[in-house]
Structure 1
């Protein structure tokens, strides 16, 4: 019986295995939005900040509220490259076990980074988690690029 499309590479992963780290990264974004909202609301209720001091987004929030806002904002910086790469790897069928393992390392590093940011905010630890994520994502892009460039071009 003919297949519905081109076969996956023998080392290709299931779509669920590829997308589970993505779903958890998205969950992190929403969780940080909740943390940020709660901290900001609490700061306003406790009169730690005046509405007119932050109405245009100025960074006049108390430290905990600002740290959670920064952690939330960080999810729209480096992770954008992750969110761009995953569909490319799926479409080109280059998402294998190495890709999924590196995805998990990246997402785990984002959770650690965010956790440190909204708790102790210990900069050396936070930077270490950030660096792990950068290296994992860089490796993902390099491996993907090499695999694409080493494959004969076809449409």
Structure 2
């Protein structure tokens, strides 16, 4: 079985997870803990796939750092500020960066770049 055929369902599941995260977030309260575990799990899974497949290039590393900075911003806003709008923006920034990382990785794998 080709690597593409094995990874395609993973990419579809990741897409579904992002869709549900964004859809549920629009209806959830800022204190919703599920997102706090969902995003890092998707991040860890991406890195766990990219490393052994030798696709953890400079783009992935730079986006990883941007993602981690957004998580720090979100964590700071969670523990300090009560402004749910700022926390929501930090969370959304992390989601968009992680989504960009997954799209980049999926395109590299599926198009064999």
1:114 aligns to what?
75
TM-score, L = length of structure 2? 0.67
Match of 1:145? 106
Structure with greater helix percent: 2
TM-score, normalised to structure 1, is 0.50
Alpha-carbon distance in structure 2 between the residues aligned to 1:148 and 1:119: 40
Larger radius of gyration: 1
User: Deviation digits for residues 87-135 of structure 1, max 9, x if unmatched?
Assistant: 1000111111110111011111001001101111211110111111011
Partner of 1:91: 52
Match of 1:59 in 2: none
Moved more, 72-81 or 100-109: 72-81
The match for 2:11 is none
Deviations 1:26-58 (A, max 9, x none): xxxxxxxxxxxxxxxxxxxxxxxxxxxxxxxxx
**Shift of residue 71, structure 1, vs aligned partner:** 8.2
Runs in 1 of length 4+ with deviation above 2 angstroms?
A: 70-75
Higher relative contact order (CA 8 A, sep 6+): 2
Give the aligned CA root-mean-square deviation in angstroms: 2.0
Q: Deviations over 1:52-93 (max 9, x none)?
A: xxxxxxxxxxxxxxx9xx587643121110011101000111
Structure 2 counterparts to residues 34-45 of structure 1, below 5 A:
none
Specify the alignment match of 2:86 in structure 1.
125
Q: Which runs of 5+ in 2 are unaligned?
A: 1-29
